[in-house]
Chain A
Amino acid sequence: MSHATRNTQHVLRLTYDIYLVGVGGQGVLTIGELVAEAAHRRGVPVNFYPTKGMAQRGGFVKARIRLGREMAGPNIPEKGADLVIAMEVSEALKAVRFIKPGGDFVLFGHVWAPTAVMLGKADYPTLDRVQEQVQEAEGRMYYLAPESLPLYEGAPVPANIFVLGAATGHTGLGDILVPSEVAHVVQTRWKRGVERNRSAFQAGLNAFTGS
């Protein structure tokens, strides 16, 4: 189901475009902030374009990160994203048209059911359906089951940091940014929860191994 091996064919590229999707409240935009900061510290030109407004309201959230261009337009064209990070199963579908054929598609399998779905009045796409669509768009699927979220002191680690770790460790993102530097940004961004965040990121880096 998931491609557990790192794409070793990946050549070092000068530009790298990331499309992020999820639901307000999942920390999708935080992933973008962290990537932007790690890039900036490394001197990699970055343009981070979040769509805000519904962040606290359980609405669709998206963001675009363009790395490596001195002059970067904010938007990524369809079929242009080297990497998609989707934090929610249904919202992942909204990113499919942006994945570049052969690009990496990291999906965290959380299901955030809208009320109508919860009440049985509306349909919700199956995971198979989403994987099928990604495959049709020739994206390389990296699936992270919500159950794979490790615990830290008895509570699940922050999913967004875990997913960022997985993307950094297993996709081309790790070629343009240095994993240890991303880890440093994760650990210095907040005063609280340093160890929790560190372990979340590390668990992401180690994801897919042994599965």
Chain B
Amino acid sequence: MSKSVNPANPCSELLTGNEAVALGALRAGVKVVTGYPGTPSTGALASLLRMDLDDGRHVEWSINEKVAFEIAAGAAWAGQRALCTMKMSGLNVAYDSLISIAYSGCIGGLVIYVADDPGVSAGMAEQDSRGFARMSDLPMLEPASVAEAYRLVQVAFELSERAGTPVFVRLVTGIAQSKAAVELVQPNPPAPFPMREGGGSPPRFGEGSGERSEAKLVRDITKFTKAGSAICMAQHRDLIARLEKAGQVIREMGLNRLRLSPPQPPPTGGERGGGLGIIASGVMASYLEEGFEIAAQFGFERDAVSMLRMVATNPFPAAEVQALLRHCNAILVLEELEPYIERCVYIEAHRLGFEGRIVGKLDGLFSRIGECGVSHVVRGIGAALNLPIPDDLFRGSDTAEQLAAQRPITVCAGCPHRGTFMAINQAIRRLKYKKDEVMVTGDIGCTILGMNPPFHTVWSEVAMGASLGMAQGYVHGGVETPVIATIGDSTFFHAGIPGLVNAIQHQVPLTLIIMDNGWTSMTGMQVNPGTDEPFQQPGDRRVDIAKIIPALGVEHFFIIDPFDLDESAATIQKALTLPGVKVVLSRQECAIQAQRRGLKAGKVKVVPENCNLCNLCIIRTGCPAISIGEDAVVIDPNLCYGCGLCAQVCNREAIESVT
């Protein structure tokens, strides 16, 4: 990790929120860290891998979030501290195991770091993970800043062990990917949780003895199995009790900070005193100071306001909220995405017979969609106190943006997926189908870029591995033209294999095209099971997709080189006409990764005298390395990877491969 140090304060380092989570876990003496890459959470585990830790900790990118979480939970059941990292979509994958493990609780501290993406910087459902914390009755901490993320991850481990429950730490993109100063303390070595038989009190963080002891095995079928209703219902009771216990620990720790305004003058005109109470959670708390400064210009008095800074959003701090409701005559709830807190505030308000206003999303002021900011603080205060905040205070003109050129993202220069998309399109053309007659389901990762121009190959994007299930549905639904499923290598490992096995078992006529570039690329080139052995972690080995497919009994299995357009198109064309499940494995390494090692696929050059600027090379490939010059197209030698696809589509020999 790059270091930026303030000379006056050498312990203060600029870190991303992700790095702060990672270093906070190290400080807490974490032993096992697992995860699956996903924007905006990737940087946490990635930063630990970059550190090449050799102090007895285990850090890995796992095959998917469910497996990752099970590994972390197993370590925590063995008494160790464990961290599992994922984006919000990954939580959906992990959830089956997660809710079961929630029922069992944990021994060593178990922390799930999940990063939500309000405002959708990375293209997925804008889901709010707080709903999952509610459903599984697990505590959730929501840092408001990078520095707080560092501290709260450590608190989360302590809370986890004191209450015996897995604990969520939730960041949003704005904190996970922000860089800010953090005061760092030396990390602690991994140290397992002392077994409770002796009745010893749990350790507090920062008090690690530094002595590493062995993992412990605990046999307790009433805790660690789900055999029978008696066990499961007892666990349900324990789960609820643990969340309550977590609530007590959170109160002892003073995580949720309530500050009531000084007593107001006796109410006049029949109105209650106490003024406005603001509840702010997560990133919204970081905008309060700024919002107060701005609102002050419109008559807002900050001393008259009561505040509940909600850091632990689950369990819901009902006592603090009730105190606020008793004191105030209006409540403003500031939270991003779903009105989870606000709904609970309504319940407490009902219990207390609160008659004041509750300002937030449920009264229609704020949207459930997108990132929030300081404007929400100011507008909320304005609405609650009837301050004359001008409508256009934070509203810039959006006409400028509408004049901007569209910039659809495409695959990088040299990307092997380009060749695969072109080959699929060519195969469809050669079979005399129109493009809108052949369904090509898509999947998560760089392979989805086939939906964009110039390819327009891929039709759909659902969830990891979903291309396979969706394709089978189209077949059973009665589509008689060929059905193609496309998927990347990491996505295939993650959740594609069950879909393929299902298709094979039920003999569904479809063609699966696996675009294997050897890396989990969209999230920044992480290692996956199929990555070449030299790039695996020391002691790890590669799992070759080319050996998996035949072992599953696929009769029609082809391997193509996406840089050989004609051959690839002919192979796909053939596959589309064969019966049953066909698998085409399209293989070339991610060009970005290869070029980082100084590799090029080849070399091409323009023959200007042959070029008539028909632009076919640009129209077909959309390659960012090619532009239109004076008399001929121009290829940027720095961007060009030499894949040669442009030379293969040129029909005037104006681009040639140089050997």
Contact = CB atoms under 8 A, between A and B. Distances in A.
Interface in B132-160: 144-146
Interface stretch (B77-85, B391-399, B469-477, B498-506): B391-399
A40 B4 contact: yes
Interface of A: 23, 33, 36-37, 40-43, 45-54, 56-60, 69-80, 90-91, 93-94, 96-99, 113-119, 122-125, 129-130, 133-134, 136-137
Given A71-B289, A74-B286, A96-B397, A125 B404 contact: yes
A168 to B, nearest CB: 17
A135 B412 CA distance: 35
Contacts of B398: 97
B517 to A, nearest CB: 14
Contacts of A48: 14, 178-180
Contacts of A79: 393-396
Nearest to B624: A58
Interface in B164-190: 174-175, 177-181
Given A52-B177, A93-B400, A117-B405, A43 B6 contact: yes
B619 A119 contact: yes
Interface residues of B, number: 64
5 closest Cβ contacts across the A-B interface? A97-B396, A74-B174, A96-B400, A73-B287, A78-B396
A47 B174 CA distance: 10
User: Which of B2, B375, B393, B403: most chain A Cβ within 10 A?
Assistant: B403
B565 interface: no
Contacts, number: 179
Interface of B: 2, 4-9, 12, 14, 39, 121-122, 144-146, 174-175, 177-181, 283-290, 371, 373-375, 393-401, 403-412, 453-454, 522, 592, 615, 618-619, 622, 624, 627-628
Contact of B407 (A40, A60, A77): A60
A73 B396 contact: no
Contacts of A46: 14, 179-181
A40 B174 contact: no
B407 A93 contact: no
A91 to B, nearest CB: 7
B39 A53 contact: yes
Contact of B178 (A47, A77, A91, A134): A47
Nearest to A90: B405
Contacts of A99: 396
Contacts of A53: 39, 121-122, 522
A174 B406 CA distance: 34
Given A54-B409, A60-B407, A94-B401, 16 more contacts: A49-B174, A49-B178, A51-B177, A52-B39, A57-B409, A57-B412, A71-B145, A72-B145, A74-B286, A75-B371, A75-B374, A76-B373, A77-B375, A97-B396, A133-B400, A137-B400
Contacts of B619: 119
Contacts of A137: 396-397, 400
B179 A71 contact: no
B403 A36 contact: no
A124 B405 contact: yes
Contacts of A90: 404-405, 407
Given A47-B179, A50-B177, A37 B394 contact: no
Contacts of A37: 4, 14
